[in-house]
Amino acid sequence: MPNGKPLVSVTVCVRDGVDWVDGCLESLTAQTHRPLEIIAIDDGSSDGSKEKLLAWHQEEGEIPIRIFTQDAKGLSAGRQLALKQTQGEWVAITDIDVRPEPDWISNMILEIQPIDSQEQVVAITGRTVFEHAGDVVSRVRSVEIATKYRSRPRRTSLANGPCSMFKRESLLEIGGFNPTWYHAEDMEVSLRLIANGGTIVYAPDAVVHHVPEIESGRFLAKRRRDARAHMRIVRHFPRGKRQGP
């Protein structure tokens, strides 16, 4: 633990996102926090993403980068594979279409200490800024997400997938990410961490930028997927039985 700072393992998964690989990995290697390692998973890509990821593989150097591949099993299975390969005390997750600011990890590290004896901080979640390209679709998405973050309290119930960091020991204690959970794996694992007595803290200065969502078909498909995921969360975690905020 050089300079008293913990090793952070940053993980990212991709399936068919070849145009986003370099931008994401460049932003991760630009993180100011040290020590740092990067674990990337290809989830059965067929568009050249795997080959582009493998070109980044380097186990030596200031920031080790390790690439692993699997058949198309889904994001949650990819996050679980990445978790098993990590060595850090803290495990960060992001998405391939996200560009973290250089101090993203550093600003989350500032929040790992509890403020009272009631807190057991098991996750820190940052803030995602959805960029827009001047079109209606990406502007709507940008405003929608910004509004959600505006009133978010310090203690929260969701460690968002594009911008969060978990205490590795706490993740392993609950079994990590459920490979059968096809979407909303961030909410599912967050609720299990809270049920296990953990606290999730929101760090508004830990910022990542999401590439613009400019295609209406893709936008609507993701909203339908979000709706199905919401209903699955409600079925498995009824509001009346949830703990925490």
CB-CB contact of 106 with 34 (8 Å): no
Tokens of 90: 């803290």
pLDDT in tens, 89-126: 999 999 999 999 999 999 999 999 999 988 999 999 99
pLDDT in tens, 155-201: 999 999 999 999 999 999 999 999 988 788 999 999 999 999 999 99
| Domain ranges across the chain | 2-241
This model's pTM is above 0.85: yes
Tokens of 17: 């996102």
Mean pLDDT over 37-59 rounds to: 98
Quote the CA–CA distance of 98 and 41 in Å, as a whole number. Answer: 15
pLDDT in tens, 3-14: 689 999 999 999
Mean residue pLDDT of the chain comes to 91
Q: Which residue has the higher pLDDT, 118 or 30?
A: 30
Give the DSSP per-residue string, 48-72. Answer: SHHHHHHTT-BSSSSS-EEEEEE-S
Q: Name residues whose C-beta falls within 8 Å of residue 73's C-beta, 6 or more positions apart in sequence.
A: 43, 44, 179
Tokens of 100: 């973290």
- Architecture of 2-241 per CATH? Alpha-Beta Complex (3.90)
Residue 242 pLDDT exceeds 70: yes
Which of 36, 49, 43 shows the shortest CA–CA distance to 10?
Answer: 36
Q: For the chain, what is the largest distance between any 2 Cα atoms, rounded to a whole number of angstroms?
A: 50
Q: Name residues whose C-beta falls within 8 Å of residue 118's C-beta, 6 or more positions apart in sequence.
A: none
Tokens of 172: 């392993």
β partners of residue 95: 13
How many whole angstroms from its chain centre is CA 86? 14
What is the pLDDT at residue 227? 81
Span of 17-26, 32-41, 213-222 with lowest mean pLDDT: 213-222
pLDDT exceeding 90 applies to what percent of the chain?
Answer: 72
Which of 56, 33, 42 shows the shortest CA–CA distance to 124?
Answer: 33
Which of 2, 11, 125 shows the shortest CA–CA distance to 64?
Answer: 11
What is the pLDDT at residue 115? 92
